[in-house]
Every structure is written in structure tokens, then in C-alpha cells.
């Protein structure tokens, strides 16, 4: 085995086994975050904030300091933590309900204040942990347990585009939407999460990465079909791309 | 240092700064706003940080984060805002996170008015948030007392890993008085606890997790028992009270009151004593842990116990529970709506009771 | 003898949840669920059906939510 070259080794700080459903993107995203933190040596100064949602136990899966936040409040808790320790790498890891429904004000204000933290919002169009209710990002016509006839805009309005919303604020340094439905997109996601953390360490402002993801269980699809649904349907409503990047703007200027 | 003539809210803010606090997260609300304004002005002068939160929900969660990170942090609000903080208060109790909240109580319920009240006793002491928990609750009676005990709130919060709340009626925040600051603590002298979320490198490469979640019911039950063992220690060590004119072997009538009401009643007690009535005041300073043992002891000297509070009757429940004697006569003077008792009203009531005319 | 690069995988079978994402992205279609093994969770873990064909692209490892797979490359000699 002497001439074995490492192509990819699962990071040591990614500690499993985890409780996520087979094929859930949480595992991919956690693993990629762990990759970045370990590669850059940031795990020693990182403080993660876990949401209420399937990722409520995220603190068991990445070997860094973690805070368990009340539902939606992670960006407010992170405000306290970041001002207590301004040079630490502070990031919130939240679902679409956590960051964009109950936490809409807290998430928006972290961006408005240009707080130097990173939010990773996992958008899978449902409330997974509680059994598949409608989320702010549920597609029109999509059936969930609280939209059994399909999401009706008359009562529930339209899907909420968080990456676009966060991009409008001057305090936002980076707002991107990525996904993990194939290896190329996983690598792209890694690039942008790393850039988000980098911008935080450089004090550029608030960074936001929305990851369009699956919920195979509540979508009633197998993991591969669920990934295809992200690629073929979700991306139509949630286009991948860079909605704000102060680093790119400077280069053009 | 000497005495400084200051507005209550500003003095409370200065006291927190001198106690070593460098983080304040707050939202404007009458009659607490000047405290936030003072912190916005003062903290940058001492290298601290003031953030105006988007709501009291957010402000309470900000102190929750800062406390979990091992730093002194404070917010101040008034009754309706403190209602919004109950979620974070419950979480902080479960996660054993220290912080300080000052509640400048105003008349309620609901939007109420902006006048002083004491109607958040239940909210503070019995738990406005969900679950079984206790907070340290301090009820100073004068601005000087509030300033004197401010460091104790932060230190005890960290010593016991729980929330310390100071409840004052709105009047204390608004009045102007001469106060003396007898301390000035350097925040760098305050050690960062081992359990704090400060990055693995600060605690030997091993991760810290701060959470109130425990899905295993056996473990959650054990956690609750552990919390209450802690609260028992707090009860044994931290009860504070004042006994005013209660030294006689026999007392005609004992008044129980706290905060500004107690201050007013001291005048009434002195006036009544001058008229020959053997009357005294028992003043709890910690509303939790409540000085129940001491209250019961002093109550042994009298048949009549009169509770005077700026509410419809919340403290009186703990008075009755502490004394636990159905043979005594319990009287209440309730002052809701932001109305403050006058010494004469209290004196008249005491005389009426002692002359046998009152129920 | 001519040489080629070959991928070598470490597969942590007990972590596999049989989600199929790795199987679906393997460009040389050499991953499949075991026909005879069942892991402690009751899943059929993934395995290499033809190890010689592995090119070490790591697509499988990139997709795996559980961190089942490590990927290495070695230079091997091939017969003409």
C-alpha cells in the first residue's frame, strides 16, 4: 500500500454515525463543512449553532464547539457569541423553517447589521423533523401535511427566496444559492461555503449560503429520485447562483 | 469616589459596567429605554459593545449566546418586553447559561400603562417560561441598594450558572438620586469558565456543547433533579431580607413588602411607631430564593400580617405559603395600575386593622 | 510494463444506509449494494463490483452523506 495517493479521506472531525434519513443532504453538507474546517485548521476556533429541525443534533456530528439554539433564534444567539469572541468562526446551520419562518427577523437582522457570521440554510421545501408540513419554501401546488391539496397562494402566498432577500442588504458580503445533487455541485458548494467562512475571517460582513436539498422521506421519494427532483424542479424556483459577492464586485470596479 | 446625582436607569447601567459587563443587547421600551441609551453611550467608552436588537425576543437570545460564550451580558426591559423573553429564559435555565436581566415593571396586563408596578412577581418567581426552573430574583428597594448588589447578580449568575433578574418598579429607573459606586471591576480579571463556547483551542482541544435538549426521558429527569439540587444550594446560601422594627418579642402587625413599596412603608412604620403601635416591616430582598424561613420566624411574633404590593396580590401567596398558619390574619393592600401607595394610606389601614375594623 | 492509475476504496460498511447516491454517480458503474451482506442497521452496504475498473474519481465519496468511503489512487502495472 506504499504508493497510495490520497484522493479523498473523510475528515476526522466528521463524527458519525448520524440519525439522518438515507440520502438526506444534511450528511453531505455536514461532511463538507467538516472538510473545510479541518483543512483550514479552523475547527479549533469554530463555534456552530444548531437549529431546531432534523439537524438539532448536528452538535454530535462535527467536532467543534456547538450551541443549541431555540427555533429560529440562532442568528440572535450568534450575535451574542460573535460579540463575545469577535475573532472566532461563528456559523449558524438552519433549515428553511428555522431561518426563514420563525427566524425571519433574526436572520434578516444579522444581514442588516452586517454581522460577521455565516448562515448555512438548508432549503428542502418542508418541515422535515415535525413530519412534513408546509415550509416558507414549499413549491406552489406541492402537497404537504398542512397543504394537503397543494400549496395554495391564496392562503399561503408564494415560495420565499431567501438568497435573493438576504442579497439586498448592504451588510451582506456574500449571498449564494448552491446544491449538492451531484459531485460537481458538491464541489461548488464546498467552494462557496469556504469563501463564506473566508469572508467572515476577513471581516467582510454577513455571509449566507442557501443549499437546495432533499427530504426523501417527506417527499415520498427514494434518495436518487429526490436528488433528481432538486435538479429538475426545485432549481426552477430556486435558481442556483451568486446573488451578492462583495469580493467579485471589487474586482470589477 | 463620592456620590453622583444620577437618573436611576443610568445608574443601573453604570453599575453593570462597573460590575464588569461589556455586552448589552436591548430594545427600547418605556420605562427602560434610558438604560439602553446609557449603555449605547457608555460601552464604547470602555471597549464594550452595545447592540440594539430587533425585538426583546432577539435581545434575550443575544444574552443567551453571550452567556453561553462565558461573558457577562445584560439586557433591560419592562413587563411586556420581558414576556417576550420567557422563551430564552426557559432555555437558559435548561442549558444553565448565566446572564442578567433587569425588569423595570409597569402596570399591566397587556399594554397597560407606563407607571410603576410589581405585578410581574409571578412571571419572575414562578416562571413565566415553560418547564421546571428557578431564576435568582433580586428586588432592591432603593437605587443605592440596586447599585450595591449589581456585581452580586453577575457573580452569582456565573457561580450558579443561572439567570439573575433584578426587578424594580419603573419608578426606580426614572427617579434621580445620589448614588455611590463602591466598586470598579476589570472585565479582564473575570475568568472564562471551562464550559464556555470559546473555540476548542481555549479548552484543551475538546469540544463544548451548550444545549437544553435531552431526548432521553431518564436523562432529562436526572437533569431536572440536578437543577433542583443546585437550586437548593442557592436557597441555602443566597436568601436576603431586611427586618425593620421587628425586634420586639411581640409585634402588633407585620407588614410584608418589597421594592419601592417597602421604601414607602418604612416611613409609615416610623410614623406608626411614633404613635405607639408596635409595627414592623419584613422586606424580602431576594424574591427567589424567598426568605420563607425568616419570614415565618418573624411572623411568629404577631397575629396580623399585612402584605402591601403594587399588584392584585402575588407576593401574598408566598407570604401565606411561608407562614403556613391558618390562625393568623392575612391582609392585603393591592395597588394595581401603576398607582403607588402613600404612607398615610398604609398607616390608616394598619390602624383600622388593629382597631378591629378591617377584615 | 505499461502502468495505469487505479482507484482504491475504503468502505465503512456499518455506516452505509443504502441511499444509492454513490451508485447513481459512479461514472464506470462499478458500485452496487451487496447481495449477501447486511450491516448492523439492516442495510445492504455498497461494494465495488469490479475493483480494477475504479478510476479513483471520488464522485462516490463526494456524494456520500455518511462518510462511508475514502478514496486513494495507486499506480499499477497492467498486462499487455
Per-residue pLDDT of chain B (359 residues; tens, 9 = 90+): 689 999 999 999 999 999 999 999 999 999 999 999 999 999 999 999 999 999 999 999 999 999 999 999 999 999 999 999 999 999 999 999 999 999 999 999 999 999 999 999 999 999 899 999 999 999 999 999 999 999 999 999 999 999 999 999 888 999 999 999 999 999 999 999 999 999 999 999 999 999 999 999 999 999 999 999 999 999 999 999 999 999 999 999 999 999 999 999 999 999 999 999 999 999 999 999 999 999 999 999 999 999 999 999 999 999 999 999 999 999 999 999 989 999 999 999 999 999 985 54
What are the domain boundaries of chain B?
3-238, 242-354
What is B3-238's CATH number? 3.40.50.970
Q: Quote the Cα angle for B318-B321-B326, to 5°.
A: 130
Q: Residue B141's pLDDT is what?
A: 95
Task: Give chain C's contact residues with A (Cβ, < 8 Å).
Answer: 7-8, 14-15, 17-21, 23-25, 43, 56-59, 61-75
pLDDT in tens, A16-72: 899 999 999 999 999 999 999 999 999 999 999 999 999 999 999 999 999 999 999
With an 8 Å Cβ cutoff, are A28 and C64 in contact?
yes
- Superfamily of chain region A25-252: Thiamin diphosphate (ThDP)-binding fold, Pyr/PP domains (3.40.50.970)
Query: Exposure of A143 by Cβ count < 10 A (0-12 exposed, 13-18 middle, 19+ buried)?
Result: middle
Cell of C11: 468502505
With an 8 Å Cβ cutoff, are B49 and A67 in contact?
no
Q: Residue B336's pLDDT is what?
A: 95
Domain C3-77 has CATH 2.60.40.180: no
List the one residue out of A48, A145, A132 whose CA is nearest residue A96.
A132
- Read off the pLDDT of each residue in A226-250 and give the average, rounded to a whole number: 95
List the one residue out of A173, A207, A169, A210 whose CA is nearest residue A189.
A210
Distances (CA, A) of B294 to B123, B229, B322: 23, 21, 9
Helices (H), chain A: 25-40, 74-84, 96-97, 104-112, 153-156, 162-167, 183-201, 216-219, 223-229, 235-237, 246-252
Over the range A101-140, which residues count as b (16 or more CB within 10 Å of their CB) and which as e?
Answer: bbbbbbbbbbbbbebbbbbbbbbbbbbbbeebbbbbbbbe
- Chain A neighbours (≥3 Cβ pairs under 8 A) are B, C
Interface of B with A in 182-201 (CB under 8 A): 197-201
With an 8 Å Cβ cutoff, are B210 and A68 in contact?
yes
Q: Residue B222's pLDDT is what?
A: 98
pTM: 0.95
Residue of A nearest to B210 (CA): A67
Q: Residue C76's pLDDT is what?
A: 85
Query: Exposure of A40 by Cβ count < 10 A (0-12 exposed, 13-18 middle, 19+ buried)?
Result: middle
Query: Per DSSP, which regions of chain C are E strands?
Result: 3-11, 31-33, 46-48, 69-77
Q: What are phi and psi of A74, to 5 degrees?
A: -50, -40
With an 8 Å Cβ cutoff, are A23 and C17 in contact?
yes
Interface probe, candidates A2, A3, A5, chain C, greatest C C-beta count within 10 A: A5
In chain A, residues with a C-beta closer than 8 Å to the C-beta of C56 are 7
DSSP per-residue string spanning B244-282 = ES--SSS-SEEEE--HHHHHHHHHHHHHHHHTT--EEEE
Query: Per DSSP, which regions of B181-244 are E strands?
Result: 209-210, 241-244
ipTM of the complex: 0.94
User: From CA B304, how far away is CA B251, in angstroms rounded?
Assistant: 9
Residue of B nearest to A66 (CA): B209
Interface probe, candidates A15, A18, A21, A22, chain C, greatest C C-beta count within 10 A: A22
Q: Which of B23, B53, B91 sits opposite A84 (nearest CB)?
A: B23
What are the domain boundaries of chain C?
3-77
User: From CA A21, how far away is CA A218, in angstroms rounded?
Assistant: 10
pLDDT in tens, B75-130: 999 999 999 999 999 999 999 999 999 999 999 999 999 999 999 999 999 989 99
Q: Residue B11's pLDDT is what?
A: 97
Q: Residue B356's pLDDT is what?
A: 84
- Read off the pLDDT of each residue in A104-125 and give the average, rounded to a whole number: 98
- Chain C neighbours (≥3 Cβ pairs under 8 A) are A
Q: Residue B127's pLDDT is what?
A: 85
User: From CA C60, how far away is CA C9, in angstroms rounded?
Assistant: 10
Q: Residue B357's pLDDT is what?
A: 59
Q: Residue A251's pLDDT is what?
A: 56
Residues 6+ away with beta carbon under 8 Å from B155: none
Examine domains B3-238 and B242-354 and report if their fold is the same. yes
Query: Exposure of B75 by Cβ count < 10 A (0-12 exposed, 13-18 middle, 19+ buried)?
Result: buried
User: From CA B89, how far away is CA A49, in angstroms rounded?
Assistant: 18
Interface of B with A in 13-72 (CB under 8 A): 23, 25, 49, 51, 53-55, 57-59, 61-71
Q: Residue B170's pLDDT is what?
A: 87
Q: Residue A16's pLDDT is what?
A: 85
Return the residue matching grid coordinates 420581558.
B82
Band of pLDDT at residue A1, cut at 50, 70 and 90: very low
Q: How far is CA B18 from its chain centroid? A: 19
List the one residue out of A47, A25, A147 whose CA is nearest residue A96.
A25
Sheet containing C3-11, strands listed edge to edge, beginning at the edge strand earlier in sequence: A5-8, C69-77, C3-11
With an 8 Å Cβ cutoff, are A5 and C74 in contact?
yes
User: From CA B121, how far away is CA B143, in angstroms rounded?
Assistant: 19
Q: What are phi and psi of C53, to 5 degrees?
A: -85, -5
CB of A16 within 8 A of CB of C15?
yes
State what percent of residues in chain A have pLDDT above 70.
98
Helices (H), B290-334: 292-299, 315-323
B242-354 topology per CATH: Rossmann fold (3.40.50)
User: From CA B146, how far away is CA B179, in angstroms rounded?
Assistant: 10
Q: Residue A253's pLDDT is what?
A: 43
Residue C11, by phi and psi: left (phi above 0), alpha (psi -120 to 50) or beta?
beta
Cell of C59: 464522485
State what percent of residues in chain A have pLDDT above 90.
96
Q: Which of C21, C74, C75 sits opposite A224 (nearest CB)?
A: C21
With an 8 Å Cβ cutoff, are A64 and B88 in contact?
no
Q: Which of C62, C69, C72 sits opposite A4 (nearest CB)?
A: C72
Average pLDDT, chain C: 95
Helix or strand (DSSP H, E) at A6? strand A5-8
User: From CA C76, how far away is CA C79, in angstroms rounded?
Assistant: 10
**B130 lies within 8 A of chain A by CB:** no
Q: What letter would DSSP give residue B20?
A: T
Amino acid at each position: 500500500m506504499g504508493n497510495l495517493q490520497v484522493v479523498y479521506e473523510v475528515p476526522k472531525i466528521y463524527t458519525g454515525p448520524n440519525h439522518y434519513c438515507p440520502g438526506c443532504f444534511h450528511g453531505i453538507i455536514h461532511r463538507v463543512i467538516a472538510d473545510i474546517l479541518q483543512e483550514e485548521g479552523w475547527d479549533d476556533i469554530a463555534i456552530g449553532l444548531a437549529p431546531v429541525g432534523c439537524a438539532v443534533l448536528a452538535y454530535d456530528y462535527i467536532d467543534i464547539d456547538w450551541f443549541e439554539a431555540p427555533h429560529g433564534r440562532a442568528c440572535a444567539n450568534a450575535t451574542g457569541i460573535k460579540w463575545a469572541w469577535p475573532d472566532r468562526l461563528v456559523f449558524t446551520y438552519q433549515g428553511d423553517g428555522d431561518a426563514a419562518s420563525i427566524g425571519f427577523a433574526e436572520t434578516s437582522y444579522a444581514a442588516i447589521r452586517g454581522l460577521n457570521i455565516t448562515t448555512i440554510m438548508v432549503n428542502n421545501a418542508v418541515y422535515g423533523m415535525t413530519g412534513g408540513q408546509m415550509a416558507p419554501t414549499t413549491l406552489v401546488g406541492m402537497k404537504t401535511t398542512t397543504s394537503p391539496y397543494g400549496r395554495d397562494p391564496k392562503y399561503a402566498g408564494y415560495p420565499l427566496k431567501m438568497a435573493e432577500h438576504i442579497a439586498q442588504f448592504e451588510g451582506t458580503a456574500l449571498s449564494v444559492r448552491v446544491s449538492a445533487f451531484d459531485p460537481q455541485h458538491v464541489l461548488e458548494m464546498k467552494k462557496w461555503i469556504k469563501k463564506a467562512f473566508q469572508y467572515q475571517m476577513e471581516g467582510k460582513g454577513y455571509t449566507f449560503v442557501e443549499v437546495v436539498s432533499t427530504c426523501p422521506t417527506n417527499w415520498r421519494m427514494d434518495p436518487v429520485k429526490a436528488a433528481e427532483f432538486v435538479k429538475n424542479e426545485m432549481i426552477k424556483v430556486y435558481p442556483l447562483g451568486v446573488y451578492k459577492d462583495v469580493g467579485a464586485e471589487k474586482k470589477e470596479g | 469616589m463620592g456620590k453622583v446625582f444620577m437618573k436611576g436607569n443610568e445608574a443601573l447601567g453604570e453599575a453593570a459596567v462597573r460590575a464588569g459587563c461589556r455586552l448589552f443587547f436591548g430594545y427600547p421600551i418605556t420605562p427602560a429605554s434610558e438604560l439602553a441609551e446609557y449603555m449605547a453611550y457608555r460601552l464604547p467608552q470602555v471597549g464594550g459593545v452595545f447592540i440594539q436588537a430587533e425585538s426583546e425576543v432577539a435581545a434575550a437570545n443575544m444574552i443567551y449566546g453571550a452567556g453561553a460564550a462565558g461573558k457577562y451580558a445584560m439586557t433591560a426591559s419592562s413587563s411586556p418586553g420581558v414576556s417576550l423573553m420567557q422563551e430564552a429564559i426557559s432555555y437558559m435555565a435548561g442549558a444553565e447559561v448565566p446572564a442578567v436581566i433587569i425588569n423595570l415593571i409597569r402596570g399591566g396586563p397587556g399594554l397597560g400603562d407606563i407607571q410603576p408596578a410589581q405585578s410581574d412577581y409571578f412571571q419572575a418567581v414562578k416562571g413565566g417560561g415553560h418547564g421546571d426552573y428557578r431564576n435568582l430574583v433580586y428586588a432592591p428597594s432603593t437605587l443605592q441598594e440596586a447599585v450595591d448588589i449589581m456585581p452580586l447578580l453577575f457573580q452569582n449568575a456565573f457561580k450558579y450558572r443561572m439567570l439573575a433578574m433584578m426587578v424594580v418598579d419603573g419608578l426606580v429607573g426614572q427617579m434621580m438620586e445620589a448614588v455611590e459606586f463602591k466598586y470598579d471591576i476589570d472585565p479582564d480579571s473575570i475568568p472564562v469558565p471551562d464550559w464556555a463556547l470559546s473555540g476548542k483551542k481555549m479548552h484543551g482541544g475538546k469540544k463544548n456543547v451548550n444545549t437544553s435538549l435531552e431526548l432521553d426521558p431518564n436523562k432529562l429527569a436526572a437533569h431536572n433533579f440536578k437543577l433542583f439540587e443546585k437550586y437548593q444550594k442557592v436557597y441555602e446560601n443566597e436568601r436576603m431580607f431586611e427586618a425593620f422594627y421587628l425586634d420586639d418579642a411581640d409585634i402588633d402587625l407585620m407588614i410584608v413588602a418589597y421594592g419601592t413599596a417597602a421604601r414607602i412603608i418604612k416611613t409609615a412604620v416610623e410614623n406608626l411607631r411614633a404613635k405607639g403601635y408596635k409595627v414592623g416591616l419584613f422586606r424580602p430582598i431576594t424574591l427567589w430564593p424567598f426568605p420563607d424561613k425568616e419570614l415565618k420566624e418573624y411572623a411568629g411574633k404577631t397575629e396580623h400580617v399585612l402584605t402591601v404590593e403594587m399588584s392584585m396580590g402575588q407576593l401574598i401567596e408566598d407570604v401565606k405559603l411561608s407562614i403556613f398558619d391558618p390562625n393568623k390574619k392575612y391582609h392585603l393592600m393591592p395597588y394595581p395600575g401603576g398607582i403607588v401607595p402613600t404612607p398615610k394610606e398604609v398607616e390608616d389601614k394598619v390602624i383600622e386593622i388593629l382597631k378591629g375594623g378591617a377584615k | 510494463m505499461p502502468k495505469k492509475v487505479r482507484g482504491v476504496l475504503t468502505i465503512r460498511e456499518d455506516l452505509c444506509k443504502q441511499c444509492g447516491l454513490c451508485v447513481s454517480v459512479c461514472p464506470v458503474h462499478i458500485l452496487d449494494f451487496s447481495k449477501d451482506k447486511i450491516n448492523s442497521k439492516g442495510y445492504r452496504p455498497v461494494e465495488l463490483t469490479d475493483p480494477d475498473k475504479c478510476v479513483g474519481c471520488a464522485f462516490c465519496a463526494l456524494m456520500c452523506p455518511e462518510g462511508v468511503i475514502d478514496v486513494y489512487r495507486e499506480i499499477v502495472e497492467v498486462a499487455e
